[in-house]
Structure 1
Amino acid sequence: MEVEKLNNPTWYSLTETHKDFGIDYNGTKFYCPSYCPFGGFIIPDTTQSAIDTYAMLTNNFYVVGDKPNFNSTVRLNKELVCNQMLLDKGIEIEICEHITELRTTKQMVDLFYLVNLVQPGYFKTKTAGLGSYYGIYKNEKLIAVTGERMKMNKYTEVSSVVTHPEHTGKGYAKQLLAYTSNKIIDEQKNPYLHVADTNIGAKLLYEKLGFRTRRKISFWNFVTNDNRKTTNR
């Protein structure tokens, strides 16, 4: 079934819609690190050598799904347990803010700095190239964004649900989530997202908008054990 591909979202994204953004290590696939430091696998025996090779490109990355085999060249820094939440129908709320699709060079710079201000470490220099991103500006300052990250044939991940700390509590995230999710549904795909299991407030917001928890899924964070030089591709 198509929905079972969500058990291994990175691998299937790099096999389907995002196949041109990845590196295939004979059964283990990673995004090029300048786009997204995520990987996934279907052949456990390939993960050790794949992780060793990928660690030459970036010193901090994640494997999504099952726990991979790995060597002492890297260290398992943490297991981030997330709720994987799926939306089955459009979100019917009033959109009262002006929402801008972020396309210009200045808008991309604004996007990069806002996401890394609130959620540092995940959003890379080319992440915005993976999908569409939408934002709300106030007084020419980008204060809230939401966009698309991992993509399969039938599913698109909603990501970077970010509001500037000085502008929270005003419903911006709710409107951007509805706008982005409905755009995905218009493309005949299902929106899904990942939220840390400990982020109770965000989970409650997503549930109110119609997202339901499908399963828990782990993001295994690895860092290199030495000071080797890395190069982003």
Structure 2
Amino acid sequence: MPIHSDSYKFLDNPVWHALQTVHKNFSLGTDEICRYRPGTLQILGCENPGKVDLNDLRQWIMEGEKLFMVGDLAAPAPGWTISRKLDCMQMVCESEENLIQEYTEEILPLMEDDRSEMLELINLVQPGYFHEDTPLLGSYFGIRKDNKLVAMAGERLRMTGFSEISAVVTHPSHTGKKYAQMLVSHVAKKIMNEHAVPFLHFVSTNARAGKVYELLGFEERKIITFWELIVEKR
């Protein structure tokens, strides 16, 4: 199936489709615009960005809050400011062929008792994207050394037929050991076993990450923009 096939159209507007399907229980908003419940993800989606009014979401947002919008940007609205624009590469994986099949480290499921360590690790490496209840969105796995969590990866945006691999981080003292490749392979195989397609995003300037994912069999689909919006006081 070509990665530019119409079968992948959901991935052009992944937040909206996630909140309308698998993650519907995490959705707050209206029939046209919604957001993830605070504490899970600071991110919103809408069915038709060109026609929606961002302020229809106001009652579910705190003043000064930062929210990401993925894909097409909604029309300007009073009280909303673009604070950052991140162009990200979206990749998908259709086959297990290039995924790591045998691990040199034990891959452990991460549970509720692991949340504080997960937050500590990811906020050390990628601060601001992972929150206390983010682990509720999917399955997360990690590698431990000396009983300390040193690498992790899991699922973020999930919708019918697709699941995003995210929170791929390794402690700076443990890089270069293929921990991330093993974890991404493990999560991708788990997603495929559930008859869904794994996909992921990374900042498009991060060529090193792109090469790693290519080695695992991920293919580039498109550049998709993450817009960080600040909601100002009225």
**TM superposition score normalised by structure 1:** 0.92
Q: Render the CA deviation track for 1:97-144: whole Å, top value 9, x for unaligned.
A: 001000141x12111111111111110110000000000000011000
SS of the residue aligned with 1:61? strand
Q: Which moved more, 1:182-191 or 1:62-71?
A: 62-71
SS of the residue aligned with 2:122? helix
Q: Which amino acid in structure 2 is aligned with residue 128 of structure 1? A: P
Which runs of no fewer than 5 residues in structure 2 stay unpaired? 1-5
In 2, the alpha carbon distance for the partners of 1:187 and 1:94 equals 20
In 2, the alpha carbon distance for the partners of 1:89 and 1:143 equals 27
What residue is the counterpart of 1:115 in the other structure? 122
How many residues align? The count is 226
In 1, the alpha carbon distance for the partners of 2:18 and 2:66 equals 20
Q: Which amino acid in structure 2 is aligned with residue 80 of structure 1? A: L
SS of the residue aligned with 1:98? coil
Q: Shift of the alpha carbon at 1:168?
A: 0.6
Superposed counterparts of 1:45-84, under 5 Å = 45-56=51-62, 59-84=65-90
Out of 122, 129, 132, which is 1:125 matched to?
132
Out of 154, 157, 163, which is 2:161 matched to?
154
What residue is the counterpart of 1:218 in the other structure? 225
In 2, the alpha carbon distance for the partners of 1:7 and 1:183 equals 23
SS of the residue aligned with 1:123? coil
Q: Shift of the alpha carbon at 1:30?
A: 1.1
Q: Which amino acid in structure 1 is aligned with residue 166 of structure 2? A: S
In 2, the alpha carbon distance for the partners of 1:57 and 1:6 equals 29
Native 8 Å contact 2:152 2:180 kept in 1: yes
In 1, the alpha carbon distance for the partners of 2:175 and 2:217 equals 21
What residue is the counterpart of 1:178 in the other structure? 185
**TM superposition score normalised by structure 2:** 0.91
Native 8 Å contact 1:26 1:46 kept in 2: no
What residue is the counterpart of 1:231 in the other structure? none
What residue is the counterpart of 2:201 in the other structure? 194
Out of 40, 49, 57, which is 2:45 matched to?
40
Q: Shift of the alpha carbon at 1:213?
A: 0.6
What residue is the counterpart of 1:97 in the other structure? 105
Q: Which amino acid in structure 2 is aligned with residue 6 of structure 1? A: L
Q: Render the CA deviation track for 1:183-217: whole Å, top value 9, x for unaligned.
A: 11111111000010011111110011000010110
